[in-house]
Structure 1
Amino acid sequence: MKNFYYYRAESFADAADYVKHGSRPLAGGTDLLGGMKTAILPEYPDSLVSLLWIPGADGIYINGNSLYIGATAKLSDIAEDKTILDAVPILAEAAHSVASPNIRNRGTIGGNLCQDVRCWFYRYPHEGGGRMVCARKGGDTCYAIQGDNRYHSIFGGMKTHATPCSQHCPASTDIPAYMEQLRKGNKKAAARILMQANPMPMLTSRVCAHFCQSGCNRGHTDDSVAIREVERSVGDYILENGREFYAPPQWDTGKAIAIVGAGPSGLAAAFYLRKAGHRVTVYDARPKAGGMLMYAIPNYRLPKQLVRTFTELLQHMGISFVLDTTIGQGVTPADLEKQYDSVYYAPGTWKRPTLGIPGEELTMYGLDFLVDINTRMEGKIGNRVLVAGGGNVAMDVAITARRLGAQTVILACLESEEEMPAGRDEVARAREEGIIIMPQWGLDKVLADNGVVTGMRLKRCVAVRDAKGAFNPHYDDSEKKDIAADNILMAVGQAGDLSFLDEKYDMQLTRRGLIGVDAGSQMTSRRGVFAGGDIVTGPSTVINAVATGHSASRSINRYLGCPENYEGNVDKANEATGIQFLSLEPSGIKKYQQARLTELPVAARNIKKEDAFSLPMEQALAEAARCLNCGCYAVNPSDLAPVLMVLDARIHTTQRIVPADEFCGSTLKVTDCLAPGELVESIEIPLPKESIGHYDKFRLRDAIDFAIVSLASLFTVQDGKITKARLVMGGVAPVPLRCHAGERYLLNKKPDAQIAEAVAELAVNGAIPLDKNRYKINEIKGLIKTAVLRLQNARE
């Protein structure tokens, strides 16, 4: 254990000051020192401040109608104190049940409430082979889900932080939340959660690089969840019920916004801004809305009918489109600023960059090739085609050329195959269709005969980036190769066309010739004018463009003075789900292979028909069952917390008074309920009248063990009927769990075996035991039946 400074606080104000400056409180029972000795956490405090020496902090007394217990009162004192034994014997029972006499002599009530979790994965000592950095410690996963979970939650987990899949998604989609709703069969709620981050999942799922799947924890042990495929099925469901999900807002803010560019970024911004109640007009230079989605992505990957249907639904929302209109020609940027309250530029990057190689003018720009694909006839592409580039656009160009009839298609790129920006799936698809990939080759010069292309001379690329990581290719000019070709298609970059910004309209640009924006707000150098998508970031993915459009919509709303919940009737995840704990499907854990789309055989593929078919919804729901809903599934170890909750206790801190229900049952870590520098000072318990309370605890060794399951119960009985009931279960969930349904059921009932059985069933309704802890259901039912049947012998 590393050295640390030790301070003795003379008052809670003194201690709070230490804690505010980085010290950790030492109160007896938190096991902080034990954790430091075994180095279970990656970081530890440099100083500790003891609360045990604060005068009067361990008092136990009655004042008015309440019992007060100081935060540093010893558990042994609580178990034996006559005042407590007379007034709230249930609390004495709980204190007496804690561990051994030696531990009770040292542990305090405050320490017992604030102690750390006892999960053995969390507690695995560093010297035992390396600490396990689980989700609770800031890691990615809960090892108990697929490991030994005998003592873990049977009611689900709680989120510790954003899950890896959501962190890897540029749009920060709450993937586990919508997967959870699918497991419940609630497709509508799943759709709304998905649309909180992405208004066009039916499109993105067909072209997305699925970064989320690389972050899926299942990928460490078997197949990752097929998130993209599930999203596609939900997206199709959204499109089928489009008028419900793209309904016009029920209010009008009176604000008007212009969006320049009808691509994914502009359309995403339009959706969220219209949801906020603004009047939105989208301008685009092309005759159809959709941008790259409509013009640059081949139909076999993204059917254009889907794009048309999506933009028609945006029109149904009340979004106006002004198409075939180039800004700067008739309508100027200055005109837009005068007519609208805010402007968002997202025109994309359609312009061909100049590489400067000899004969470049004889080649064709890859994007132009994709745009013109519908006017090309099979066989006109030539027999031998060379494609330059290593990204997804290059893959689309190469595959399209092959499907148009080219006998040989060679793709040359600067990067090694591992460094190619194209997705692994796209590279595999290209190879499947006979594309020859030549990594680590750059362009030297176009070979031609009397102005007719005959091929390209390549030169070996030895490094794409310099020592600082900047794009700066280095070549070995001694190694060159001539490639014969009838057609050369260049897919090696895209530039932005900002010719609409005339000299009188001053807007700051970057050295790359893109629009410069504030990194936080996406506002340009002109107040009220925002920008996003490829014109700001450079060529990127569709989902990145969607994310910038969504982010810009938030900034525009803040600029216009709209409230933070501007998205209106797009439900928040917790409102849509209406649940407290994360849930998973235990049977899905044992499904090791992900679902895969059915694809057309290579011989049947063409440029017109979509290559793959969406998963049937039933199969998508089954795939959603494989999601681990990553969080923490450990249980709260405190014996006193359930008792304080049934007693309606109130926790007095150095800053406020918090109901025990909130303090002990609302956050994964009890200490997360405390603000920086806030400490527990005392506990106030209203004196119960004519009540019968007990704390029952099931454990392996009565003398020392933590509860496997426990139950705090408090009843009032009149005329043989239960008139008030409180039931709080411990050891079954990440926090003590109050059984509201059971409490309501017991009111005005006479306790008997049938009633006891019924309330026990209610208590475990909704339980989702893991592979090895199903036995907990029977144990907690047994404690509840015991508590109810015990009332048969109660006297009024």
Structure 2
Amino acid sequence: MKNFNHTDAESLSQAAGILKEEQQNARVIAGGTDLLSVLKHKLEPDYPETIVNIKSIEGLDHIVEDEDGLKIGATAKLCDIASSPLIQQEYGALADAARSVATPLIRNLATIGGNLCQEVRCWYYRYPDEIGGRIQCLRKGGDTCNAMTGENKNHSIFGARKVNLSGCSSNCPAHVDIPEYLAKLRAGDLDGAASILLEANPIPAVTSRVCTHFCQMNCKRKEYDDNVNIGGMERYVGDHILEHSDRFMVPPKTDSGKRVAIVGSGPAGLTAAFYLRSRGHSVRVYDKMEEAGGLLRYAIPEYRLPKEIVRNLISALEHMGIEFLTGIEIGKDIPVNDLVEQYDSVFLNTGAWKRPLIGLDGEELTTFGLDFLIEVNKWMESKIGKDIIVVGGGNVAVDVAITAKRLGAANVVMACLEPEDQMPASEEELNRAREEGITILPSWGPKEILRDNGKIAGLVLKRCTAVFNEQGHFAPSYDENETTILYGSSILMAVGQKTDLSFLGEALELEVSRGLISVDPLTMKTSVDKVFAVGDVTTGPKTVVDAIADGKKASVAVHCFMTGEAEGDVRHPLGGLITFDASCTGHSKAARLPERPKEERGLHLEDSYGLTLEQVQEEAKRCFNCGCLAVNPSDVATVLTAMDAEIITNKRREPIGEMMKKSHCRLVEEDEILTEIRIPASAKNYRIGYDKFRVRDSHDFAVVSVASAYKVQDGVVTDARIVLGAVAPIPLRAKEAEAYIIGKAVTGELAAEAAEIALQGALPLSKNGYKVQIAKTLVRNSLLNARNSTEE
């Protein structure tokens, strides 16, 4: 075991102070039997440098009763609780639970606070050496619970616990809560799914068609069979939102009186406009093009993103009260400093439309790929039947190549610096290009433009041996001796875009670095008061979903700037129970979007069709809804939940059931100390029981446990609490079963019905279905025992 500093705390304030000191990296020890095992096996990613012993604090080991009920100090030993005449006589189930914990040796060391705060039970978490070495499970900083498809005989039968962002959500720049909206789809709540999606992405009908889908790249299901087709489901929900935009994209109920000018209507600007208008601000969007939408409208071919989708999106935003002024070039028609004077905030989102030059002799004869996409039909009028060379390896280059081919180019060749497995374009787009007959030449860079009478005749390529230097910076190196020649009448350069900041003029002295507007990365605020900037104009060309993420972040900053409000907590909630479809662990193929036949494809028809609602709901069932399936091992937590106990810490006082719901990795926060457990005197009015199924008596781990609290009068249940232990990440109240039995006479039939209801929501995994039957038996017995003890 690694060495650590050990401190005997003299007071709670001293212990809390040590825990708050970040450099201490401290943990509390009360009983020690669990924590020392965790440290010995190095289970957690961070090892504490200091252990704070709170058993040395006087007064924390009390067991006393007053008119309000029973009070137990956090460091009271389980052996003392089990042998206490007071607890045995008045709160017997708690004594039973304490006595059931492992061997006498452990009970003599373990405390009730330690039992409540102990780590979860899981083969992958607890015993890594016995399964071939350490596994980065969710609780160790990983993003997968191996129990979903591996060994799970002791794991949860009631869903998982969200302890980290799922792999899909964490890999999405916008951090869309993908598992949550897929859960809504599984439940048939399409509007609910739409609302969750809109919280992070207001243009899903667009992103589902053009996004690189980073989420799918990090879908944990692909390690099992196929990744979940998140993009296909996003498309269905996104189209649903646009079709019913009058319900989802509505004007705010009240206006704030604040006015925002947004320059540029690309994805970041549209995102900011949506969220700012939703908060009640007046939003006016300026754009130099004839139609709004920026590169979404002009640079993405219609076979990928139909123009009608963009137009419908703009119309929905206009319905919210957002005003679009197009055909107006800021810096030319209106000085940008005029906007600063007229509005409460100015939001710059002018994108990257300018051509970058790579210093190739004769480069002026080539065509910029973005210009080609914008003026494609006019440009190609005289080029039909010609051989065309495309330089670049990203999605824009693929768009350029496919568009040229579909317009009638005889041959199209793409050449790029990157090797094939490192090309920026997505695998899906590269496969589409090859299907269309486009030749792709990876690891080649332009060396010389061949000319004939001042016109392009071809391009000499040289072998690219590396794209980046040892520091990871873009610095291509070549083998000048290995060359090849491509013959063609036109060269389309699709090697990126630059920002054009000339619109700023001289009056607005914004800080600029390397051709980009400098902003605070947290707030997107520029060096000029009231002016914010976002998107490609601050970062250079990035993906649409990156722009959306930045647009939302900046909208929050703008809102806070104008209103003086503090930024709210935008973290994803963790700690709740999450469910999945019981069939998700069966091997299956992902649903694929139907494709338009190759011979029917063109420039103005979308290449793919959407999934049906039935396909979407079936695909949503494939989601593992990645969470931790380990169970809470505390015996006393189950009983205390049935007793409606309260937990007291140095920071709060809360019913144990509520505290358990909020926790995700541990019951208390890192700088929080559990000090006392309080059981109300009313608990003595119930028949409280505790039963536990385990492998052997000396084994502390419950396979299944049930704690119950019943009021039975004249054979009729007047109140009930049924709590299931070791079947979920937290002790679980069987509230539907409780409600069912209240007001009914206790019979064998009623007990059996209650057991069935208590387990009807179970989601057993491949190897733990036996827990369901054991839990039913324990629930049934708990009710019959309460009846029998009442009759006695």
Alignment CA distance shift 1:177-1:562 (3 Å): farther
1:41-77 CA-to-partner distances (Å, cap 9, x unmatched) read 3332233233334444322222333222222222122
Cα distance between partner residues in 2 of 1:362 and 1:62 = 92
Deviation at 1:406, TM superposition (A): 1.3
Match of residue 241 from structure 1:
244
Secondary structure at 2:309 match in 1:
helix
The one of 345, 348, 351 equivalent to 2:351 is: 348
Match of 2:701 among 693, 703, 706: 706
8 Å CA contact 1:382–1:486 kept in 2: the answer is no
Q: Tell me the distance in 1 between the aligned counterparts of 2:119 and 2:737.
A: 29
Aligned to 1:510: 513
- For the Cα contact (< 8 Å) 1:200–1:310, is it kept in 2? yes
User: 1:668–1:735: 8 Å Cα contact kept in structure 2?
Assistant: no
Opposite residue 286 of structure 2, the aligned amino acid is Y
Q: What is the deviation of 1:565?
A: 8.2
Deviation track 1:306-341 (CA, whole Å, cap 9, x = no partner) reads: 111111111111111100111122311111112211
Q: TM-score, normalised by structure 1?
A: 0.95
- Offset, 1:720: 3.1
Aligned ranges for residues 108-507 of structure 1 at < 5 Å? Answer: 108-126=111-129, 129-375=132-378, 380-507=383-510
Aligned to 1:557: 559
C-alpha contact 2:271 2:552 (8 A) present in aligned 1:
yes
Q: Secondary structure at the match of 2:512?
A: coil
- Aligned residues between the structures: 787
| Paired letter, 2:674 | V
Q: Does 1:644 align with 2:646?
A: no
The match for 2:535 is: 533
Matched, 1:633 2:639: no
In 2, the alpha carbon distance for the partners of 1:11 and 1:299 equals 69
The answer as to whether partners of 1:113 and 1:670 remain within 8 angstroms in 2 is no
Between stretches 96-105 and 754-763, larger displacement belongs to: 754-763
Offset at residue 345 of structure 1 (A):
0.8
Q: Deviations over 1:695-730 (max 9, x none)?
A: 111222234242111111112223333222222211
- Structure 1 pair 665/469, CA: closer, same or farther in 2 (3 Å)? closer
- What is the SS of the residue equivalent to 1:41? coil
The CA deviation string for residues 360-404 of structure 1, in whole angstroms up to 9 with x for no partner, is: 111111111111124356773442101111111111101111111
Deviation at 1:551, TM superposition (A): 1.3
The answer (yes or no) to whether the contact 1:663–1:670 under 8 Å persists in 2 is: no
Shift of 1:8: 3.0
Q: Which AA in structure 2 matches 1:268?
A: T
In structure 1, C-alpha distance between the alignment counterparts of 2:421 and 2:708, rounded to whole Å: 61
Q: How far did residue 80 of structure 1 move?
A: 1.4
| Partner residue in 1 for 2:9 | 9
Q: 1:756 aligns with which of 726, 751, 754?
A: 751
In 2: Cα distance, 1:632 partner to 1:317 partner = 40
Residue 645 of structure 1: SS of its match in structure 2? helix
Q: Quick check: 1:686 aligned with 2:680?
A: yes
Matched letter for residue 747 of structure 1: I
Distance in 2 (alpha carbons) for counterparts of 1:314 and 1:609: 25
Q: CA deviation at 1:771?
A: 2.0
- Cα distance between partner residues in 2 of 1:572 and 1:478: 54
Q: Which moved more, 1:462-471 or 1:153-162?
A: 462-471
- Deviation of 1:197 after TM superposition, in Å, equals 1.0
Q: Deviations over 1:761-785 (max 9, x none)?
A: 3322322222222222222222222
Does 1:544 pair with 2:540?
Answer: no
Instruction: Write the distance in 1 (CA, Å) between the matches of 2:636 and 2:467.
Output: 62
State the TM-score, normalized to the length of structure 2.
0.95
| Farther off after superposition, 75-84 or 55-64 | 55-64
Higher mean alpha-carbon deviation, 240-249 vs 264-273, is at 240-249
Higher deviation after alignment, 328-337 or 264-273? 328-337
Q: Secondary structure at the match of 1:118?
A: coil
- How far apart, CA to CA, are the structure 2 residues paired with 1:368 and 1:480? 29
Distance 1:91 1:148 in 2: 32
Gaps of 5+ in 2: none
* Residues 133-184 of structure 1 deviation map (CA, whole Å, 9 limit, x = unaligned): 1011111111111112222112111111111111111111111111111111
Q: Which residue of 2 aligns with 1:731?
A: 726
Distance 1:249 1:756 in 2: 52
Note closer, same or farther for the CA distance 1:653–1:536 as it changes in structure 2 (3 Å cut). same
State how far apart, in whole Å, the 1-side matches of 2:608 and 2:11 are. Answer: 69
Give the Cα–Cα distance (whole angstroms) in 2 for the partners of residues 522 and 427 of structure 1. 34
Q: Distance in 2 between matches of 1:210 and 1:564?
A: 32
* Equivalent residue letter for 1:551: K
Q: Give, as a single letter, the amino acid of the residue that structure 1 aligns with 2:418.
A: E
Report the counterpart of residue 588 of structure 1 in structure 2. Answer: 584
Q: Deviations over 1:420-448 (max 9, x none)?
A: 21112212221221211122222223222
- Counterpart residue identity of residue 663, structure 1: M
Deviates most, 108-117 or 684-693 = 684-693
Q: 1:522 aligns with which of 524, 532, 535?
A: 524
Distance in structure 1 (CA, Å) of the matches to 2:82 and 2:735: 28
Q: Give the 3-state SS of the residue equivalent to 2:303 in structure 1.
A: coil
CA distance in 1, matches of 2:192, 2:566: 21
Is 1:113–1:640's contact at 8 Å kept on the other side of the alignment?
yes
Q: Distance in 2 between matches of 1:277 and 1:690?
A: 53
Residue 222 of structure 1, CA deviation: 1.8
Shift of the 545–7 alpha-carbon distance from structure 1 to 2, 3 Å rule, reads closer
> Which amino acid counterpart does residue 155 of structure 2 have in structure 1?
H
- Structure 1, 595-604 or 334-343: larger mean CA deviation: 595-604
Offset of 1:562 from its aligned partner? 6.1
Q: Name the stretch that deviates more: 172-181 or 465-474.
A: 465-474
The answer to whether residue 594 in structure 2 is matched with residue 598 in structure 1 is yes
Q: Which is further off, 705-714 or 681-690?
A: 681-690
Structure-2 separation of matches of 1:315 and 1:376 = 33
1:467-515 CA-partner distances (Å, limit 9, x unpaired): 322222233333333321111111112111222111122111111x121
Instruction: Give the direction of change, closer, same or farther, for the CA distance of 1:761–1:251 in structure 2 (3 Å limit).
Output: farther
Partners of 1:151 and 1:128 in 2: CA distance: 15
1:82 corresponds in structure 2 to 85
- Where 2:563 maps in the other structure, the secondary structure is coil
* Counterpart Cα distance in 1 of 2:571 and 2:747: 43
Letter in 2 for 1:729: L
* Superposed CA offset, 1:227-271 (max 9, x none): 111111111222222211111111111111111111111111111
CA distance in 1, matches of 2:639, 2:427: 55
The amino acid across from 1:638 in the alignment is: S
CA separation in 1, counterparts of 2:737 and 2:572?
A: 27
CA 441–573 in structure 1, closer or farther in 2 if over 3 Å, else same: closer
Q: Which residue of 2 aligns with 1:22?
A: 25
Answer with 35-44 or 9-18: which moved more: 9-18
Asked if the contact 1:31/1:116 (under 8 Å) is kept, the reply is yes
**Which letter does structure 1 place at the counterpart of 2:733?**
R
| Corresponding position of 2:655 | 659
Matched letter for residue 633 of structure 1: L
Counterpart code for 2:719: K
Q: Which runs of 5+ in 1 are unaligned?
A: none
Compute the displacement of 1:732 (Å): 1.6
- Kindly report the root-mean-square deviation, in angstroms, between the aligned alpha carbons of the 2 structures: 2.2
